[in-house]
Structure 1
Amino acid sequence: MPGSGAVTRNTLRRQIADALRDEVLAARLPPGTEFTVKQIAETYEVSATPVREALVDLSAQGLLESVQHRGFRVRTYSVEDYRGMIEARALVVDGIFRRLVERGMAVGSGERLVSVRRRAEEARRAAQSGSLEVLIGYDLRFWRELSGLVGNTYISEFLHRIRVQCWVFSVPHLQRATAAEIRRALWDGHGELVDAVTRADAEEARRIVHAYDQHGLDWAAGL
């Protein structure tokens, strides 16, 4: 079939990018780790082209940085970077809730709230049990689906990228903490936020998100 080679390569590109993103989020590729296209291609037993494209994609998302003549390196974020991420997402999320109240949610949002609520409960359970890797998956899906209610894919993608970066910063620190410290550090107010959105209560939603952001800032201040 014409173009089938390009389709296969693009599929590999996404699969490799997804796999490497999971490795970074789990800190199995911790900040500062360096590798080459050749090493990744050999690990996944694929050609260099989709690997190079996947690494460029992850660099554009802020997870990797190119190292001249040496390949790529997992990006290291500072506490100041983390504060900037929280400020950026806070400004956008505040606009989302204002939009939801003033103009209403996108068509089909009522049905989608059922899925968002399910993600919220799964994330809450993972946070309360201290299951970090499980929480990351549910948390990212929760916020992506919640921001998707506004019906603007640019906003949803922007917030998703920032949340991935927040977790890249957080995970190495959390992995060095005790189980009790991890449970205290993890936010579990997903369900309350869904309740506020369901009621179209923008002020309550903003209050919850502000508390969420402050929770993250307070935690980072103690590192």
Structure 2
Amino acid sequence: MPEDGGPPVRRSSLRQQIADALRDEVLTGRMESGRHFSVKQIAENYGVSATPVREALVDLAAQGLLEVEQHRGFQVRRFTAEDFRSLAEARVFVIEAAFRMMAEHGMGELPPQAIASVRRRAEAAARAARAGDLDVLIGCDLRFWRELTAIGGNPHINEFLDRLRVQTWIYAVPHLRAVPDLAGVCWADHVALVDAVAARDTAAARRLTLDHSTHTGALVEKLTPAHP
């Protein structure tokens, strides 16, 4: 939020700031699944008017992170084990289709600056995964996949995959927090995947991407109680 005396923040910018902050709270589990809250409560917490808060909450509901409760406010969406499996399956389905297109038509032009930026994201995500720093890993991992899929040039696919990734993280985070030491537990081959993409090695990139899905799915399944 801007300091007193600073330039005024446009409503659209404030709306995005609030949405981003709440999204992070949901992602990290600070706003746990099933939690109920009102526009008024969030507005008071952030010290802003109700309008940008309502707009931000509607945006998050449209992304599938919140549920609207008629005349009551909002609730953080509860994702089940079955939701997680379905989300992971949908993500693999889209990625497989993308790799088929790449194999048939090639990867196209790969801007060096974009590859360099994704590699930095990959290195940060891999370090966090090896160290078991979950809060850092969530943000780095999401930015890594967002930038990597953006190289494909289709913003609709990128947005769809990012939404799936966020939702699977929301389900996984509470289970991962129950692990005493996460060092080396989460998938950490981000750099190898960037190298495969940079080398236009579609087969290796596909294998690493599927390995990520298999590794993450098996880990979360292991941590999930018998009754989701």
TM-score (norm 1): 0.91
Q: Aligned residue for 2:221?
A: 221
TM superposition shift of 1:221? 2.1
Q: Aligned residue for 2:4?
A: none
Q: Aligned residue for 2:72?
A: 70
Q: Which amino acid aligns with 1:67?
A: E
Matched ranges for 1:1-223 at <5 A: 8-105=10-107, 107=109, 109-179=111-181, 182-222=182-222, 223=224
Q: Which amino acid aligns with 1:201?
A: D
Q: In 2, are the aligned partners of 1:101 and 1:200 still within 8 Å (CA)?
A: no
Q: In 1, are the aligned partners of 2:131 and 2:184 still within 8 Å (CA)?
A: no
TM superposition shift of 1:104? 3.8
% identical aligned pairs: 53
Long gaps (5+) in structure 2: 1-8
Q: Which amino acid aligns with 1:192?
A: A
1:102-134 per-residue CA deviation (whole Å, 9 max, x = no partner) reads 334455533211111111111000000001010
Instruction: Give 3-state SS (helix, strand or coil) of 1:183's partner.
Output: coil
TM superposition shift of 1:65? 0.4
Q: Which amino acid aligns with 1:151?
A: G
Q: Aligned residue for 1:3?
A: none
Q: In 2, are the aligned partners of 1:26 and 1:171 still within 8 Å (CA)?
A: yes
After superposing the two structures, state which structure 1 stretch, 70-79 or 196-205, moved more.
Answer: 196-205
Instruction: Give 3-state SS (helix, strand or coil) of 1:72's partner.
Output: strand
Distance 1:171 1:195 in 2: 28
| CA RMSD across the alignment | 1.5
More helix by share: 1
Distance 2:108 2:135 in 1: 31
TM superposition shift of 1:85? 0.9
Q: Which amino acid aligns with 2:20?
A: D
Q: In 2, are the aligned partners of 1:25 and 1:171 still within 8 Å (CA)?
A: yes
Instruction: Give 3-state SS (helix, strand or coil) of 2:75's partner.
Output: strand
Q: Which amino acid aligns with 1:149?
A: I
TM superposition shift of 1:95? 2.4
Instruction: Give 3-state SS (helix, strand or coil) of 1:65's partner.
Output: strand
Q: In 2, are the aligned partners of 1:17 and 1:58 still within 8 Å (CA)?
A: yes
> Structure 1 pair 90/36, CA: closer, same or farther in 2 (3 Å)?
same
Long gaps (5+) in structure 1: 1-6
TM superposition shift of 1:184? 4.7
Distance 2:109 2:203 in 1: 23
Alignment size in residue pairs: 215
Q: In 2, are the aligned partners of 1:32 and 1:75 still within 8 Å (CA)?
A: yes
Instruction: Give 3-state SS (helix, strand or coil) of 2:117's partner.
Output: helix
Q: In 2, are the aligned partners of 1:90 and 1:213 still within 8 Å (CA)?
A: yes
